[in-house]
Amino acid sequence: MTENKSIGIKIKTANLSFYYNRHQVLKEISVEFPERSISAIVGPSGQGKSTFLMIFNRLWETIPDARMEGEAFIRLKNKWVNIYDRSISLPELRRSAGMVFQTPNPLPMSIFKNISFPLKLSGETEKQSVDEKVESALKQAFLWDEVKDRLTDDARSLSGGQQQRLCIARALTLDPEILLLDEPTSFLDAKSGRIIEDLLLNLKERCTILLISHYMDQIRRIADRVMELPASDS
């Protein structure tokens, strides 16, 4: 891949290791990820790929007996921050680094309420602003034209591919700088998977994407760089 000199670094780690109790799954990883790009994380099952993604929104901190060593940095609002510094606001970090999981997880409520839920949690109450942000997120997720006349329908009535785009739209409502995607097409048919791929290619113009995928054809189609996680030797 030709290096683009105008693209800076968005995420970096230094000597990052991770343990579940005594089991080490990540070993001394120092890596940098460029902004406005798609970086694919690959490696065998059980190698720590999902754990690696959770480093960047600190979601792992709810897991008993898990611990991290080393450092992780993100350039947020053009300022480098150590995301494990005590001064960091965890809600703000998670607004900046949205995550979409392998299995779509629409909330048991309407399509509109699914997308607006993060706005509600963040204290956004002005109706026009919420309406505009919901529409914008659905358009970014290539879903608006399919659901604009059924926003009050239960989100669980959508197809699998639509549900996954709904989850991406929900992550986009807070305008994240980073998207963390854990095998977002693994349960979708080929057509739905290609729509997600096109969506991600469009989104990388405005945010940095870290993607776990087992599909090498998919990685060749959309990834700007590939990182293979090294074995932890334990």
Is residue 149 within 8 A of residue 179, CB to CB? The reply is no
Name which of 185, 120, 113, 110 is nearest 152 in CA terms: 110
- Domains of the chain: which residue ranges? 9-228
- If you average pLDDT over residues 25-40, what whole number do you get? 96
Q: In this structure, what are the phi and psi dihedrals at residue 129, rounded to the nearest 5 degrees?
A: -65, -45
Residues 6+ apart with CB under 8 A from 75: 8, 9, 10, 11, 35, 81
- pLDDT for 3 equals 40
- pLDDT for 133 equals 96
Per DSSP, 154 falls in state B
DSSP state letters, 12-66: EEEEEEEEETTEEEEEEEEEEEESSSEEEEE--TTSSHHHHHHTTTTGGGGSTTE
- If you average pLDDT over residues 89-101, what whole number do you get? 93
The average confidence (pLDDT) of the chain is 93
- pLDDT for 212 equals 96
Domain 9-228 has CATH 3.40.190.10: no
Whether 42 has a pLDDT exceeding 70, the answer reads yes
- If you average pLDDT over residues 161-180, what whole number do you get? 96
Over residues 194-227, the pLDDT tens digits come to 999 999 999 999 999 999 999 999 999 999 999 9
- pLDDT for 210 equals 98
- pLDDT for 4 equals 43
Cα four-point dihedral sign 227, 228, 229, 232: negative
Whether 25 has a pLDDT exceeding 50, the answer reads yes
- pLDDT for 83 equals 97
Over residues 123-167, the pLDDT tens digits come to 998 999 999 999 999 999 999 999 999 999 999 999 999 999 999
Is residue 185 within 8 A of residue 193, CB to CB? The reply is yes
How far, CA to CA in Å, does 119 sit from each of 37, 131, 159, 209? 26, 10, 24, 22
Number of H helices, E strands in the chain: 8, 9
Which run of H or of E encompasses 193? helix 190-203
- If you average pLDDT over residues 1-13, what whole number do you get? 69
- If you average pLDDT over residues 111-116, what whole number do you get? 97
Whether 72 has a pLDDT exceeding 90, the answer reads yes
Neighbour order of strands in the sheet with 9-20: 23-34, 9-20, 66-76, 79-82
How far, CA to CA in Å, does 104 sit from each of 24, 126, 182, 183, 192? 29, 28, 11, 11, 13
Whether 56 has a pLDDT exceeding 90, the answer reads yes
- pLDDT for 1 equals 34
Whether 2 has a pLDDT exceeding 50, the answer reads no
Is residue 162 within 8 A of residue 115, CB to CB? The reply is no
User: 3-7, 45-49, 112-116: lowest mean pLDDT where?
Assistant: 3-7
